Structure formats: C-alpha cells, structure tokens
Homo-oligomer: A and B are copies of this chain.
Amino acid sequence: MDELNNNIMEEVMRRLSAVASSSEEKCCEEAAAATSPTCNLTEYVGTTMGHTIGLVIANVDHQVHEALKIDPKYRAIGIISDRVGAGPQIFAADEAVKATNSECLLVECPRDTEGGAGHGSLIIFGAEDVSDARRAVEVCLREIPRTMGDVYGNSAGHLEFQYSARASYVLNKVWGAPIGKAFGITVGAPAGIGVVLADAASKAATIDAVTIATPGNGGTSFSNEVNYFFSGDSGAVKQAIIAARDVGLQLLKALAPDEELKSTTTPYIL
C-alpha cells in the first residue's frame, strides 16, 4: 500500500515538475548543481541554485559589444544570469571581482523569481583575457550557495539578508555601497514587511542608511519588495541584520503559519 502511494506520488511529482517550477523555494532548494556534463559548448561554465547559469564569451562579436555599450577593451565577458535571486548573485559577484582580474560591466535585475515577489539578475564581467572572465564566473557560481544562506521563503513571500565585511566595486556600482566598509541589506516581500525590517535594522544599531528601494521608486523592477541598504561599523551592520531577520521571520510566518520557514541553504550571518 505504501509502495503504491509512493509510486503514485513519484508519478505526480514527476508531472508536477514538468508543469511548473514557479515557486521560489523549490528553485532555491535545488541542490547546487555541479558543472553539467551534458553541455559541451565552450561558452558554458556551469549552473547553480536559483536557476543560475554561468557563461563566458572569449571574443565578443563587435556588433553585440556595441549594442550592449561595453567598452571594446573587454574582449572577453563572463555572464551570470538567473531566474531566482539578485542579492545572492550580486554579493557573490562582489567577491568574484575582488578575487579575479575582472571588472563588473553591467548588473540588471529583471522582475522574476518565477512567480515569486522578487528579481532575477543579469551580471556581466569584463576582462581582457578569457581565462579571467571565466575565473570570475566560477568564483561567483561557487559563492552563491553561501549567499543563498540567509534567503528564506514561503508561499507568501521571502526575506533576504546579505552582509559583506568589506564592500567592493560591484556593491558600490549597484547600490552605492561605500568601498571598503561593512555593508548590509535587508529584503522583505511582500514589500510592507521590508519597511518594518528597515525600521528594525535602523533601531538595532548605529548604521548609515545608503538607500531604500520600494516597488515604485525605481530601486526595484516593480518587484514586491522593500530593500534597505546600509553601511557602518562591521559589528553594527551585523547586529542590525540579525535584529531585522528576527522580526522578518515572525512576520512572514504570520502570512503562512502552516509552512516551515527555513534557510535556503545555511545561514552565514552569525
């Protein structure tokens, strides 16, 4: 009987996964896939959770170069692109640029998360040499399971927290983070939760607000998030995040009390 049940459930789940993967959690819970052995294209670097793909082009065609308004000196580009998540990929990209001889040329955040409330991302690294561009993509892919650690979701929305002890060029380019200082973000969806997170963060420690993104102020792509960006002393930034996270988990839980609300991977802000 149980076997029957299991057979049926397997069949059901198989069909389901063909129908849709429109929930953020599902996507985030995917095991971080290693480089797929099925793709032999030279442009392919690898994939990871959040339907993230890493790609590289050794010598970008001049018409595409121009259309994308990329400085011609970057003959090689690395690409990170995903459906679920922008913060995790952008913080990972900041580490990638620190660790490699590459620049971040473009960061755009489509309205996505496969039916969820937030963004995907498109990140382009530039390098003069293809091995540097590829290396940036590899570092970024490797960092993403870590930066997914403080992403929490249920059917009603999601929360995200990111922390960097020393913000570098990507965080500066995207959100105006002061370079070299500790930098944190709190994300709440639906957006109203994000307002309370911002307030809780600001009250918990002495931090400097950098900016706030709301659904309609241009800081998001009309996503259902309020995102708060702040810098400051390393301990204060962490303390602000931890206080906001505690509040956010309670509020998002209230919208879906029967669902477990847990880290996508393993929390890293301790």
Contact = CB atoms under 8 A, between A and B. Distances in A.
Interface string A189-209: 011110110110011000111
Contacts of A60: 199
B108 A111 contact: no
A239 to B, nearest CB: 14
A155 interface: yes
A124 B212 CA distance: 15
A99 interface: no
Contacts of A5: 7-8, 11
B216 A44 contact: no
B7 A9 contact: no
A13 interface: yes
Contacts of A39: 250-251, 253-254
Interface string A4-44: 01011101110111111111011000000000101111011
Interface in A83-110: 83, 106, 108-110
The bracket for how many chain A residues form the interface is 35 or more
A55 interface: yes
A112 interface: yes
A191 B83 CA distance: 9
A80 B57 CA distance: 38
A51 B156 contact: yes
A265 interface: no
A21 B243 CA distance: 29
B110 A191 contact: yes
Nearest to A229: B67
Given A214-B68, A215-B221, A216-B221, A20 B18 contact: no
Contacts of A108: 191, 214-217
A255 B47 contact: yes
Contacts of A195: 55, 57, 64, 68, 77, 79, 81, 122, 124
CB-CB nearest 8 A-B residue pairs: A81-B192, A115-B115, A108-B216, A110-B215, A21-B155, A221-B222, A22-B115, A20-B23
